[in-house]
Structure 1
Amino acid sequence: MHRVWFLIVIVIWLPAIGCTLPTNTSVADLTPSPSASTYRIGPEDKLTISVWKNDDISRTVVVRPDGMISLPLLNDVKAAGLTPEELRDMLVSRLQEYLNNVELAVIINEIHSLKYSVLGEVSKPARYELTSRLTVLEAIAAAGGLKPFAARKRIVILRQAGGDDAIERIPFNYDLAAASNGTEGNPELQPGDIVMVPASAF
């Protein structure tokens, strides 16, 4: 599967509150997230924290698996689960204990935390990065296609439902979706989805 790199620049300078993206570009074009202002930072995302007129504190960092980043003066800071605006506000609040008139930008350079999994009777079961809009048929193709004994009509997409631990089970019939060339019964995946391909029962 080819790795595709995206650059999402989210620059927020105090005292202005806002979010800018490159001209004629929407976040929907870049990632499955609904908008830059609602995207929540996750592990493995690459960020630049830019403090105006203070190169000693400014850093480009990768969010660790525990969701933390490390910055001078502040040491470890929780970044995962926050929007860029929330991270900016928190950093400004904490840096004001050491600096005057803090002006700070949060820049998301690379997104790696949006992932999906294809498991079971496929050639390359694994967890993959969701770098663009992707249908179930495309995800199965990226995983090397179905094995000969895959239960083609009993595939299930497991998706977290709402903010609790409930799991939604979405049935998927590979043959029906393929017969329509992917135009029917072929939903787009969401971050965190698991495509389960069971084996045929004999």
Structure 2
Amino acid sequence: MKTTLPLALVLVAVTTTMAQQAPPAAPQGATGAKPELPAGVPTPRDYVIGPDDVLVVVFWREKEMSSEVAVRPDGMISLPLLNDVQASGLTPEELRARLTEIASKLIEEPTVTVVVKQINSRKVFVTGQVGKPGPYPLSGPTTVLQLIAMAGGLQEYADSKNILIMRTEGGKPVSFKFNYKDVSKGKNLKQNIELKPGDTIIVP
């Protein structure tokens, strides 16, 4: 017993010293790793943000400044601490640079990411004899045939040979004819034009 007791005391002392020297555990979320970004919709590099688009703005290590926001009709977005910022008319990269410039007055070396979550500003419209008439967002290159498919296809009594695409060019209305039967059979494919924001497809 005389030799065992001092050894036990030494072991206790060593264990206590090691515990004191061990670094404190890092709090959860403080690892410095960048957060996972929400999935955005595919957009071209030159995509221009417009009213009603939904954006996710992420400030690395500044959670209170991050937010999911919709672009207002006046083209502005409202962000915590930054107030109103012009977003409409800018690409996501241009908006990121603008937010970085503004935030640098409040925090040191801000790291900002802008993700387009929903595209609502670039719309085309389908009316008439289709399964689901209404507005549809243009999230990428879309042809007349593709949009008709998105709208649920033609109804049974649709006049598939006399579909019209209405468009405004130079402030004046213009129209294009579309023969669904021909295009679906691989004929007259030039009719299957790529749609532009604001186009309206009329299926009689």
What is the RMSD computed on CA atoms of the aligned residues? 3.2
Structure with the larger helix share: 2
Return the offset for 1:118: 0.7
Q: Deviations over 1:131-164 (max 9, x none)?
A: 4554322322333433455443332212343xx5
Q: For 1:189 and 1:56, how far apart are their aligned partners in 2? A: 40
Contact 1:172-1:185 within 8 A present in 2 as well? yes
Distance 1:109 1:126, change over 3 A: closer
Matched ranges for 1:140-179 at <5 A = 140-147=148-155, 150-161=158-169, 164-179=170-185
| Structure 2 residue 83 is the aligned partner of structure 1 residue 75 | yes
| Structure 2 residue 79 is the aligned partner of structure 1 residue 47 | no
**Percent of paired sites with the same residue:** 43
Q: For structure 1, which runs of at least 5 residues remain unmatched after alignment?
A: 1-5, 10-29
TM-score between both structures, scaled by the size of structure 1: 0.64
Q: For 1:170 and 1:197, how far apart are their aligned partners in 2? A: 12
Q: Deviations over 1:107-151 (max 9, x none)?
A: 233434443211133343211233455432232233343345544
Return the index of the structure with the highest Cα Rg: 2
2:128 to 92, 96, 120: 120
Q: For 1:178 and 1:56, how far apart are their aligned partners in 2? A: 52
Q: For 1:112 and 1:46, how far apart are their aligned partners in 2? A: 8
Instruction: Write the letter of the residue equivalent to 1:179.
Output: K
Distance 1:98 1:194, change over 3 A: same
Q: Using CA pairs below 8 Å that are at least 6 residues apart, which structure has the higher relative contact order?
A: 1
Aligned residues: 167
Distance 1:178 1:193, change over 3 A: same
Query: What secondary structure is seen at the aligned counterpart in 2 of 1:76?
Result: strand
